[in-house]
Chains A and B, each alone.
Chain A
Amino acid sequence: MVDFDRRDFLKATGGTVGASLLAGCTGNSSGSDGTKVGMVYATGGLGDGSFNDQAQQGLIKAKEELGIAYEESQPENNSEFASMQQQYAQNGSFDLVNCIGFAQKEALQANAKEFPEQKWTIIDESVDQDNVASYRFREETGSYLVGKMAGMLTQRDFSAGAGATTQGTNTVGFVGGIESPLIKKFEAGFQAGVKSVDDSIEMLSSYVGSFNDPAAGQSQARSMYNSGADIIYHASGATGVGVFRAAQDLGKFAIGVDRAQSVTQPDFADVILASMVKRVDTAIFNSIKAVVDDNFKGGTTTRLGLNDNGVEVAYGDQLGSEIPQDVKDALSQARESIIAGDISVPTQPQ
């Protein structure tokens, strides 16, 4: 009857545990203002060195600067979104629930209606409900800039770190995660940037079908590099690690996404030319700050682009200094032109 003992033990201790849990809920940590935030990540989870980790940065910043408390959930697949969102709304003590990634849209549409009192934020999609604040990015503009860089570099002999480009190849590549309108925006911007250098540059493109499959990313990147691509840009979350690995294996370059990946994936800093940083952290921090300031933007979609540093190019930690100045100048010029509206970047691949 060991089992009975265990339950007895739990019964005796349950009160203490419950009390300590409750203490955590009311946020008794020093400097707390009592705001409590829930977070449901995209599949792929924390530790992807990319999208989800970037989102968490905003949460941590909000904790440090605003003194909020938070809880996180990491779903394993798309069918878990609905119930993970609900566990926060059911709880009733969360002032805001952040839903990371477009895949949560359908689940949130239903839950926002079911829990009208709950405030929600969704990243990368728009949900048209009064209690949902939507944040989206102009990914195509940042992708255009790294596309321009890739296009200029593939046309010359350039070597740095563990990678090199060859003048004759004239080919670049794009590896996407799941084929969707959002990831197509990355592809479209990249393509437009490449073609703005020279229309004859070939762009290979493929979708892995997952944001969490480095092995598949590696094999697709390998075949692209073997077909002549000098530089591959990925928009595929944790899958992208495979792209970096392939670049290292074959002595080519890669471009990271969402975070400065030469910093977050230091093992591959010698092949990462730059990263198209998407400031999901800014969006999360802003949405939390809005709730703390009693200024929640429910029912609206905020779009973050180059001008408000919602997206930006971060040169590689290790390779950035070796990128020729004329390439960097061309990028800052293009950036100004996009902000000024002189260049309009397509959101769908041609």
Chain B
Amino acid sequence: MNDDSPRATTESQPRWRRTLSRLVDASAKERMVISVAALVLAVAVGFVIVVLAGLAATCATKATVLGVPTPLCYDPVAVYHELFLGAIGHPLSGNWTPLHFRMAVTLQNATLLVFTGLAVAVSFRAGMFNIGVQGQMVLGALAAALATIHLGGVAPSGVLGTLVLVPVGVLAGAVAGGLWGALPGALKAYADANEVITTIMLNFVAANFAYVVVSSWFTPPDSSLVQTANIPTAAYIPTVPFAFQPRDSFSLLGLLFAVALVVGVAYLLARTVFGYDLRASGEQPEAAAYGGVSEKQTMVASMTLSGALGGVGGAVLVMMVQGRWLANLPQLGFDGITVSILAGNNPLGVGFAALLFGVLKSGSAAIGFGTDVPPSLVDVLRGLVILFVAMPEFFRMIGASLGVGGDVDA
């Protein structure tokens, strides 16, 4: 009779299955402890790597770690000090204000990653693997730049112009990204094309298409780079007085917009009919179809929404950071995949994962600035943190999709 109890079932499972189900069933509190432990472990492993690399490297002056002379070239304590505290401007060093330049860099990265992270999360929740957020972002950025530049000629300047141009830019980005995302969605729904392959390929198409279009028609004649003209001043997402300066390329309003989207997407997924259809198709496609959800429409709709979010990310990149479309945009779309996995595809989690990413990105730049550690080694350390923190979530996702564990909805 004991055979029916969940405990006994667990005991009879193979070891990997038990481990997975332990992860899948972990409570929110346990998952946070796991994340913190993973972070500490990543730091420990990275510490050893920095020490070993510091032994192998040659340098004129050896590092002094905590006042003790060592045979090392790189000071691992200084490296991690910069990686985590450099990103927020060394709050322990005195004269610290939260409105520091480094903080602006950190929050700027976090803001942009919220959009691409949300884009990936929405598609994952619908059971679609949208690897093409980068391409959707590139085209969204291009659409936002071109729309604001061309409308800038007729729009009023000043606050009124901003009220017109910023929404137009965001909308243009959303439409361009959404259409580009709808394409692989439709290909999957109506031609059974694997969306992983099509979205990866469409990244290249988008990047090269945008490059050719801009270099052929929109690059100013005196420019030595492939880029569009600058967007009108009124099209920049305005900065709040007394907060960050315009030159910091970060606006609190941009961050607020990102937070609003996080809440909006979370609400959409949890509380609306569309969100229910979307999640149902992702978790139990057959049951969803049986329950009256149109499989094909949901595929296209979820990919359109995902692409639109990526496109908005591109628009914000142009209107908050770059001021123009520039060839070789940063790889925010690919980082968004990691952000989403780190967040367990939960929209609210995306906010925190994006913040961690922002800290790591800005901290990496601070390491390059404050220490002699080569950038490739910094990338290794950053990769370690992401890998260690994301892996439990990643296995949780695999476990959940294999149907391991007692409570699939957790």
- Which chain A residues have a beta carbon within 8 Å of chain B's beta carbons? 2-3, 6, 10-11, 13-18, 20-21, 29, 43, 45-46, 71-74, 76-80, 82-84, 86-87, 90, 102-103, 105-106, 110-111, 114, 125, 178-182, 209-210
Is there contact, CB below 8 Å, between A74 and B375?
yes
A182–B92 alpha-carbon span in the complex (Å): 46
- Which chain B residues have a beta carbon within 8 Å of chain A's beta carbons? 36-37, 39-40, 43, 61, 64, 66-67, 75, 77-78, 80-81, 84-85, 90, 92-93, 101-102, 105, 211, 215, 224-227, 247-249, 317, 321-322, 326-330, 365, 368-370, 374-375
Interface residue SS majority, chain A? helix
Is there contact, CB below 8 Å, between A3 and B365?
no
Determine the chain B residues whose CB is within 8 A of the CB of A73 once the complex forms. 365, 368-369
Is there contact, CB below 8 Å, between B368 and A103?
no
Is there contact, CB below 8 Å, between B36 and A110?
no
A–B complex contacts, Cβ < 8 Å, 10 sampled: A3-B39, A6-B43, A10-B85, A14-B92, A18-B92, A71-B370, A77-B330, A83-B105, A102-B224, A182-B224
Determine the chain B residues whose CB is within 8 A of the CB of A82 once the complex forms. 249
Residue in contact with A2 in the complex, picked from B36, B77, B225, B327, CB distance below 8 Å: B36
Residue in contact with A13 in the complex, picked from B64, B66, B90, B248, CB distance below 8 Å: B66
Residue of A nearest to B81 (CB): A17
Is there contact, CB below 8 Å, between A21 and B327?
no
CB distance from A289 to the nearest CB of B (A): 21
Is there contact, CB below 8 Å, between A84 and B225?
no
CB distance from A57 to the nearest CB of B (A): 16
A180–B219 alpha-carbon span in the complex (Å): 11
Is there contact, CB below 8 Å, between A20 and B64?
yes
Determine the chain A residues whose CB is within 8 A of the CB of B365 once the complex forms. 73, 80, 83-84, 87
Determine the chain B residues whose CB is within 8 A of the CB of A21 once the complex forms. 78, 370
A83–B36 alpha-carbon span in the complex (Å): 30
Is there contact, CB below 8 Å, between A18 and B90?
yes
Residue of B nearest to A20 (CB): B64
Determine the chain A residues whose CB is within 8 A of the CB of B85 once the complex forms. 10, 14
Determine the chain A residues whose CB is within 8 A of the CB of B248 once the complex forms. 86
Known: A29-B61, A78-B327, A180-B224. 5 other contacts (CB 8 A): A10-B92, A73-B369, A87-B102, A102-B225, A106-B227
Is there contact, CB below 8 Å, between A11 and B101?
no
Contact (A180, B225) CB under 8 Å given A16-B66, A83-B105: yes
Determine the chain A residues whose CB is within 8 A of the CB of B321 once the complex forms. 79
A135–B365 alpha-carbon span in the complex (Å): 27
A182–B222 alpha-carbon span in the complex (Å): 12
Residue of B nearest to A212 (CB): B328
Is there contact, CB below 8 Å, between B224 and A103?
yes
CB distance from B91 to the nearest CB of A (A): 9
Residue in contact with B329 in the complex, picked from A11, A79, A179, CB distance below 8 Å: A79
Determine the chain A residues whose CB is within 8 A of the CB of B328 once the complex forms. 43, 77-78, 210
Is there contact, CB below 8 Å, between A105 and B224?
yes
Determine the chain B residues whose CB is within 8 A of the CB of A210 once the complex forms. 328
Residue in contact with A14 in the complex, picked from B75, B81, B211, CB distance below 8 Å: B81
Residue of A nearest to B246 (CB): A114
Determine the chain B residues whose CB is within 8 A of the CB of A78 once the complex forms. 225, 326-328
CB distance from B4 to the nearest CB of A (A): 40
Is there contact, CB below 8 Å, between A10 and B369?
no
Determine the chain B residues whose CB is within 8 A of the CB of A72 once the complex forms. 368
Is there contact, CB below 8 Å, between A79 and B224?
no
Q: Which 5 A-B residue pairings sit nearest by Cβ, starting from the closest?
A: A180-B224, A14-B92, A90-B101, A114-B247, A102-B224
CB distance from B74 to the nearest CB of A (A): 13
Contact (A16, B67) CB under 8 Å given A87-B101, A87-B369, A182-B224: yes
CB distance from B225 to the nearest CB of A (A): 6
Most buried by A among B247, B321, B326: B247
Determine the chain A residues whose CB is within 8 A of the CB of B84 once the complex forms. 10
Is there contact, CB below 8 Å, between B66 and A17?
yes
Residue of A nearest to B328 (CB): A77
Determine the chain A residues whose CB is within 8 A of the CB of B211 once the complex forms. 209
CB distance from B143 to the nearest CB of A (A): 18
Residue in contact with B224 in the complex, picked from A29, A86, A125, CB distance below 8 Å: A125
Residue in contact with A71 in the complex, picked from B247, B322, B369, CB distance below 8 Å: B369
CB distance from A37 to the nearest CB of B (A): 13
Determine the chain B residues whose CB is within 8 A of the CB of A86 once the complex forms. 101, 247-248
Determine the chain A residues whose CB is within 8 A of the CB of B43 once the complex forms. 6
Determine the chain A residues whose CB is within 8 A of the CB of B326 once the complex forms. 78-79
Residue of A nearest to B101 (CB): A90
Residue of B nearest to A102 (CB): B224
Determine the chain B residues whose CB is within 8 A of the CB of A182 once the complex forms. 224
Is there contact, CB below 8 Å, between A83 and B224?
no
